[in-house]
């Protein structure tokens, strides 16, 4: 089969397409014929060596969707021919930028009939991170207000929809060209993140301050989040942040009894559980993963460059 691999760490130029043996699934694995593999910033971190994968050469690609073509004897709930979604690959297991990938049973879930496989291929990191942040960590409840920083991003546009699906009021920030689409995805208020009065606008749009804040840039918004949050607010930080950046006035956070939670999707005990919920929401139409652009295997290097450089709404997806 054809698979993208990197034999050493470095820039996107280290990615190459190799002919390799098709993987044989272990008893607790499902062999998936890959229909689509999502591209995420974390894929570039693995490639560069910021996070060390278990071996080289490595196949990149954290996310996958496709058809189960062979199922290990210890796997339950998935049969040959099922459409499936997977995530959590390419760190301690070969990734999904290949024609086939063997996926451990704790990182895969069945997809309902009719779910678009290309969109599902981009769902894993974005939607599972959003679920873990908003539901598992922040405990977002109906009638509360959530602030989603960067609503046009992969995680952001999934988080807007998940927050809306809970019955919460959703406030998000994005460049002006994405406002109408984020309205369509369930945002109650979309604010230009560059406006000078953003603090006041967030407080007004959330009727006094958001109860939950999902932030992928705490180095920019650590103090901002404290300033705008409601009393007893919960702030969840994801992504790469500069640990040297701190509060300019941490008394605001103490005065409001705020909770800060830092998280990584890779710490999820059983990824199949939130994946199953994500799959359900895609099946009901409550979660729609926007595919901004698709690439073939020979273009994965371009996708790695684009995911770090370009402004787009949704996800970049490789279609082998």
Report whether pLDDT(27) > 80: yes
Report whether pLDDT(244) > 70: no
The label of the residue with tokens 């920083």 reads 149
Give the pLDDT of residue 239. 75
| CB contact at 8 A, 190 and 172 | yes
Q: Domain-by-domain residue ranges, the chain?
A: 2-123+289-318, 126-265
pLDDT band at 248 (very low <50, low <70, confident <90, very high): confident
Give the pLDDT of residue 6. 97
Return the CATH class of domain 126-265. alpha beta
pLDDT band at 242 (very low <50, low <70, confident <90, very high): low
Q: What is the mean pLDDT of residues 299-310?
A: 95
Radius of gyration of the chain (CA): 19
Q: What is the mean pLDDT of residues 267-292?
A: 96
Report whether pLDDT(197) > 70: yes
Report whether pLDDT(111) > 90: yes
Give the pLDDT of residue 237. 94
The CATH code of domain 2-123+289-318 reads: 3.90.180.10
| CB contact at 8 A, 39 and 296 | no
Report whether pLDDT(109) > 70: yes
| Residue/partner pairs of 174-182 with CB below 8 Å, 24 or more apart | 174/150, 175/311, 178/151, 178/152, 178/313, 181/152, 181/290, 181/313, 182/151, 182/152, 182/157, 182/313
Alpha-helical (H) ranges within the chain are: 41-48, 117-121, 124-131, 154-165, 179-184, 198-205, 218-228, 251-255, 272-284, 300-309
What's the pTM value of the predicted model, to 2 decimals?
0.95
Report whether pLDDT(283) > 90: yes
Report whether pLDDT(41) > 70: yes
Report whether pLDDT(245) > 90: no
Report whether pLDDT(241) > 80: no
Question: Pick the residue with more confidence: 245 or 168?
Answer: 168
Q: How far apart are CA 61 and CA 81, in angstroms?
A: 22
**What crossing angle do the helices spanning 124-131 and 272-284 adopt, rounded to 10°?**
100
Report whether pLDDT(243) > 70: no
Q: What is the mean pLDDT of residues 181-194?
A: 96
């Amino acid at each position: 089969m054809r698979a993208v691999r990197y034999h050493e760490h470095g820039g996107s130029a280290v990615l190459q397409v190799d002919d390799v043996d098709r993987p044989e699934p272990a008893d607790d694995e499902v062999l998936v014929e890959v229909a689509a593999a999502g591209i995420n910033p974390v894929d570039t971190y693995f490639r560069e060596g910021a996070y060390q994968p278990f071996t080289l050469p490595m196949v990149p690609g954290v996310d996958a969707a496709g058809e189960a073509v062979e199922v290990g004897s210890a796997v339950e709930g998935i049969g040959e021919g099922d459409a499936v979604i997977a995530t959590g690959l390419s760190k301690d297991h070969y990734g999904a930028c290949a024609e086939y990938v063997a996926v451990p049973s704790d990182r895969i879930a069945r997809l309902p009939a009719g779910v678009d496989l290309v969109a599902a291929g981009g769902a894993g990191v974005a939607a599972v991170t959003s679920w873990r942040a908003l539901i598992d960590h922040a405990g977002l409840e109906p009638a509360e207000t959530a602030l989603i920083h960067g609503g046009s991003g992969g995680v952001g546009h999934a988080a807007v929809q998940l927050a809306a699906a809970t019955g919460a009021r959703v406030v998000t920030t994005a460049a002006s060209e994405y406002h109408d689409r984020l309205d369509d995805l369930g945002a109650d208020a979309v604010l230009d993140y560059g406006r000078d009065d953003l603090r006041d606008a967030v407080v007004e749009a959330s009727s006094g301050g958001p109860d939950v804040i999902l932030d992928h840039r705490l180095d920019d918004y650590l103090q901002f989040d404290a300033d705008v949050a409601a009393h007893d607010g919960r702030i969840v930080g994801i992504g790469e942040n500069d640990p040297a950046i701190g509060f300019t006035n941490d008394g605001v956070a103490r005065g409001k009894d705020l909770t800060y939670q830092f998280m990584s999707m890779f710490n999820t005990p059983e990824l199949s559980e939130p994946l199953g919920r994500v799959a359900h929401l895609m099946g009901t139409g409550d979660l729609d993963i926007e595919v901004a652009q698709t690439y073939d295997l020979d273009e994965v290097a371009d996708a790695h460059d684009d995911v770090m450089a370009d402004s787009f709404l949704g996800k970049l997806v490789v279609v082998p």
